Amino acid sequence: MSQLARVSWALARRALRNLLRRPQFLAPLVIFPSLLLAVNVGGLHRTTELGGFPEVNGFLDFQLAAALTQSLLLGGISQGIAAALEIEGGFFDRLAAAPIPRVAIVIGRLIAAAAVSVAQVAFFLILGLVFGAEIAGGAWGVVVTVAIGAVAGVAFAALGVALALRAGSAATLQGIFPLIFVILFLSSAFFPQELLESPIDTIAAYNPLSYIADGMRGPIIDSVQAGPVLEGLAAGGGLALVAMVLAVLALRGKLRDA
Amino acid sequence: MSGRLRTIGALTRRALNEILRVPTGALPGVLAPTIFMLGLTAVFGKAADLPGFGTDDFRSFIVPVGLLQGAGFTGAATGVNLARDIEQGWFDRLMVAPVSRPTLLTGIVLSASLRALLPATFLLIVSFSLGVQWPGLDGLLLAYVLLMGMAAAMACFAVAVALRFRTQQAAPLMQTGNFIATLFTTSYAPYELLAGWLQVIADINPVTNILAGVRQGFVDSVTWADTWPALLSLAGMIVVLGAIALRGLTRVGVNE
């Protein structure tokens, strides 16, 4: 195993251990999206009767992807906060002084994010099944949803890490919490794009979150179809690529300042 | 009596000063309810087309939810600030001051009520500029009274949580309490359109009545039939949550 892989793996395990030791970071990833999921389903379950709403088993099936997207976004912020706390606590400086490939600092965090993302997707799929949702795509549908979720989770975490490396403060990361809702509301995560008000419907068409959410939703409400799945993977993968470049550039800047 | 009033005034001024000294800290709390209102309208606006919704203007229907959320978040933020004061030791200095505990609680809670005017007014300005129904002067005044009361009730809850956990890390618990209280009501749709399990929760949640009290002017007209349950529910919440917070305050220092 190369040194980069070894160090990245060690840092990923450390990040996961720290997350598990601090339930206050993990709990919001599932509590807030679960509560919003319950309120949305309980309050708006009749909207499936609206003209233009796709054929679904129930509104819960449709909303699962929204809860997943929201949870993964919160996961990205959470990874960013954890990275910022390492900067504030001085651990980053010790890593910077250590004889290790510096890029492992970012890669280790993203490996941990991928693992947490898989757990988040599994949690919401199980939650949905318990409360009567059906996964129309079957086992392959689950695999595809988990795959898109993991890629998207890595993308959001890379954005979080990039922000943490630029800002260097956990408080700044916490301050962008409302922004998550703005980005989500500007997508088709919560409601079909055809039923969104103008101009949000137009903006949603250009928002990668729409494709990520619809990519995860497709296999839940319908059979696995190449179109939405590939679009979801492409949107998540593209976002991950851009975010990782930003994170590495931010790391270089931070190391220059250190 | 005048000494108590002076203390309450000083505590309230201290909390309000934070808005002037760290305006960026208050910004998310001011913007969040407006973002929520705009977002929910853009996303779920077509829900008003459902038969039995009662109004075809989803924005006017949802504005009161944003107002209550803003008030609740302000109350919760008061608890977070108290937790910070506990962590930094300032609260210990308050505890040894010759001030009664009810006076301390009143000062803290009153600051929440006044701070709640900020997100509410911002949201109302945006809403009216977008064509939300004018609730009438009586509806507007009633809404402000209920919002200030809601902020006070949620501040009592958040103070109790802050005194129990004594750390800012309990902030999500304070916010979650407000989130549940506000949204597990007729927030998104009229009672008849809610799922059965949500109807049961909305029935026992006193905030449902408070929301109906705030909402009435925005979707119809103000009536006593919608007003007295709102005022009664709010009074009940303040008494119960205030008693819990006061109990927490009187137990500070006991067995330490």
Chain A residue numbers touching B130 (CB-CB < 8 A): none
A206 contacts chain B (CB < 8 A): no
Number of other residues whose CB lies within 10 A of the CB of residue A42: 23
The residue among B146, B156, B69, B78 whose CA lies nearest residue B112 is B78
Radius of gyration, alpha carbons of chain B: 19
Question: Is pLDDT above 60 for A20?
Answer: yes
Q: How confident is the model at residue A52 (pLDDT cuts 50, 70, 90)?
A: confident
Q: What's at A69, amino acid-wise?
A: T
User: Is the confidence metric ipTM above 0.95 for this complex?
Assistant: no
Nearest CA in chain B to A43: B194
Number of other residues whose CB lies within 10 A of the CB of residue A199: 10
Q: Among A35, A36, A46, pick the best mutation site for testing chain B contact (most B Cβ within 10 A).
A: A46
What distances in angstroms separate CA B233 from CA A92, A188, B135, B227, B238, one per listed residue?
A: 51, 37, 21, 10, 9
Q: What phi, psi does A176 have (nearest 5°)?
A: -90, 10
Q: How confident is the model at residue A48 (pLDDT cuts 50, 70, 90)?
A: very high
Instruction: Return the pLDDT at A1.
Output: 65
Question: Is pLDDT above 80 for B28?
Answer: no
Q: What is the pLDDT averaged over residues B29-41? A: 87
Question: Following DSSP, what letter does each residue of A25-71 receive, concatenated?
Answer: HHHHHHHHHHHHHHHHHHHHGGGGGSTTPPP-S-HHHHHHHHHHHHH
HEC profile of A157-209: HHHHHHHHHHHCCHHHHHHCHHHHHHHHHCCCCCCCHHHCCCCHHHHHHHCHH
Burial class (CB in 10 A: 0-12, 13-18, 19+), A48: middle
Let me know the angle formed at the C-alpha of B85 by B84 and B88, rounded to the nearest 5 degrees.
85
Give the pLDDT confidence of A71-125 residue by residue, as tens digits: 999 999 889 988 988 888 889 989 888 888 999 999 999 999 999 999 999 999 9
Q: What is the pLDDT averaged over residues B182-196? A: 95
Cis peptide before B51 (omega within 30 of 0): no
Minimal Cβ distance to A181: which of B39, B47, B194: B39
Question: Is pLDDT above 90 for B251?
Answer: no
Question: Is pLDDT above 80 for A146?
Answer: yes
Question: Is pLDDT above 80 for B95?
Answer: yes
Q: How confident is the model at residue A216 (pLDDT cuts 50, 70, 90)?
A: very high
Instruction: Return the pLDDT at A75.
Output: 92
- Record the pTM: 0.88
Tell me the C-alpha distance between B86 and B104, whole Å.
14
Instruction: Return the pLDDT at B24.
Output: 64
Nearest CA in chain A to B167: A24
Radius of gyration, alpha carbons of chain A: 19
Q: What phi, psi does B166 have (nearest 5°)?
A: 55, 30
B11 vs B145: which has the higher pLDDT? B145
Question: Is pLDDT above 80 for A24?
Answer: no
Question: Is pLDDT above 80 for A25?
Answer: no
* Binding-face residues of A in 141-180 toward B, CB within 8 A: 175, 177-178
Instruction: Return the pLDDT at B182.
Output: 93
Give the pLDDT confidence of A165-199 residue by residue, as tens digits: 998 877 777 777 767 878 888 999 999 999 998 88
Tell me the C-alpha distance between A203 and A198, whole Å.
9
Tell me the C-alpha distance between B44 and A45, whole Å.
11
Percentage of chain B lying above the pLDDT 90 cut: 59
Question: Is pLDDT above 90 for A65?
Answer: yes
Q: How confident is the model at residue B92 (pLDDT cuts 50, 70, 90)?
A: confident
Q: How confident is the model at residue B254 (pLDDT cuts 50, 70, 90)?
A: low
Chain B residue numbers touching A185 (CB-CB < 8 A): 35, 38-40, 42-43
Cross-chain residue pair A197–B187, CB shorter than 8 Å: no
Give the A:B interface size as CB pairs under 8 Å: 88
DSSP state of B99: -
Mean pLDDT of chain A: 91
Percentage of chain A lying above the pLDDT 90 cut: 70
